[in-house]
């Protein structure tokens, strides 16, 4: 693997080329950069490019400010999302990162196909963010009808029986091929909703709204979807790209400390594997990250 990397500083540019079998590693580096940008209020634009002929991936990110956590970011600045553009030809999609993005309905609505939406969430996230998500999907857009299905929370429910609840709701609601599925939750919800979208009517539009650090920096990027089988994890699934990923960092305010630490451990691993200076930045800013 050939890689060039400048230090984590203003106007930083990072590029990486790798063969297709290392796409997961590239996605991880990509996720690391997105998380560092979000956590440090870095407003930047990134681009991920896929060359289908040589099956190589190239990624670059340009940041405009130093990576110092700003605890007093103004509301006007927070309203401007970081945008990561994932260029995969006709499967391309943007990733929006920032604070208060669920308060900006136009971000979601521009990616909704048709007039039917099914929000897939769980018993933990629904009381916190379901109403806000429905508002973001319908504000100023009364022709859109939103249904929701609330699944039990936990990895043990990432199975065919629980997945059928999503299909049941979609069929009962007479969803058509132009409907949009929205995954609102952590990695389990994202995986299940994505696989349901890939399978329902042979494929419908879907949007990712990850609400955990792990989902925001890992599982919501790359198009991996699926469920577990009694004989193994993630044995049933598909690669299926979302229309967009919306990372609202405000959702981390309600994340349990254990899950926050778990997600940060994944980010620390990226620094250890690839970027010594970013790892040092994490050491200096870890207290602020844990304080949210």
- In the 8-state DSSP scheme, what is residue 203? -
Comparison of pLDDT for 245 and 142, the residue scoring more: 245
Where is mean pLDDT largest: 19-33, 98-112, 266-280? 98-112
Kindly indicate the confidence band of residue 111, based on its pLDDT and cuts at 50, 70 and 90: very high
What's the helix, strand, coil split of the chain in %, to 5? 45, 30, 30
Yes or no: say if 291 and 255 are a contact pair by the CB < 8 Å rule. Answer: no
Tokens of 287: 């207290």
- Domains of the chain from N-terminus onward: 1-99+256-292 (no CATH), 114-255 (3.40.50.1970)
Instruction: Identify the pLDDT of residue 244.
Output: 97
Tens of pLDDT, residue by residue over 240-265, are: 999 999 999 999 999 999 999 999 99
Tokens of 281: 């930045």
269 to 13, 28, 204, 218, 266: CA distances (angstroms): 21, 10, 34, 12, 5
Q: Which pTM value belongs to this model?
A: 0.78
Instruction: Identify the pLDDT of residue 79.
Output: 67
Bridge partners of 205?
Answer: 180
- What three-state secondary structure class fits 292? coil
Residue 20 has pLDDT above 80, yes or no: no
Percent of the chain with pLDDT over 90: 67
Instruction: Identify the pLDDT of residue 291.
Output: 84
Which residues, other chains included, contact 56 with Cβ-Cβ below 8 Å and sequence gap of 6+? 17, 18, 19, 20, 50
Rounded-to-integer distance, Cα 243 and Cα 20, Å: 22
Instruction: Identify the pLDDT of residue 80.
Output: 83
* Average pLDDT of the segment spanning 112-123: 97
- For the ranges 37-51, 110-124, 159-173, 221-235, the lowest mean pLDDT is seen at 37-51
Instruction: Identify the pLDDT of residue 17.
Output: 34
Among the listed residues 114, 113, 118, 108, the one whose alpha carbon sits nearest the alpha carbon of residue 140: 108
């Amino acid at each position: 693997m050939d890689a060039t990397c400048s230090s984590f500083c203003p106007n930083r540019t990072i590029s990486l080329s790798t063969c297709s079998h290392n796409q997961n590693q590239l996605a991880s580096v990509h996720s690391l950069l997105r998380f560092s940008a979000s956590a440090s209020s870095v407003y930047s634009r990134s681009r991920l490019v896929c060359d289908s002929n040589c099956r190589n991936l190239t990624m670059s990110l340009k940041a405009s400010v130093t990576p110092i956590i700003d605890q007093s970011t103004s509301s006007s600045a927070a309203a401007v999302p970081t945008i990561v553009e994932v260029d995969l030809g006709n499967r391309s999609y943007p990733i929006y990162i920032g604070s208060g993005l669920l308060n900006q309905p136009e971000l979601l609505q521009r990616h909704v196909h048709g007039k039917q939406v099914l929000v897939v969430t769980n018993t933990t996230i629904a009381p916190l963010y379901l109403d806000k998500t429905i508002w973001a999907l319908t504000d100023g857009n009364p022709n859109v009808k939103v249904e929701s299905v609330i699944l039990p929370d936990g990895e043990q429910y990432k199975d065919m029986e629980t997945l059928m609840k999503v299909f049941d709701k979609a069929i009962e609601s007479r969803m058509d091929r132009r409907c949009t599925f929205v995954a609102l939750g952590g990695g389990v919800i994202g995986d299940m909703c994505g696989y349901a979208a890939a399978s329902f009517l042979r494929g419908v539009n879907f949007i990712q709204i990850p609400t955990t650090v792990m989902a925001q920096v890992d599982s919501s990027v790359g198009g991996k979807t699926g469920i577990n089988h009694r004989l193994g994890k993630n044995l049933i699934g598909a690669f299926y790209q979302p229309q967009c990923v919306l990372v609202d960092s405000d959702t981390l305010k309600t994340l349990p400390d254990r899950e926050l630490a778990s997600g940060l451990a994944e980010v620390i691993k990226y620094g250890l594997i690839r970027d010594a200076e970013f790892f040092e930045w994490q050491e200096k800013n870890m207290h602020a990250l844990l304080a949210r």
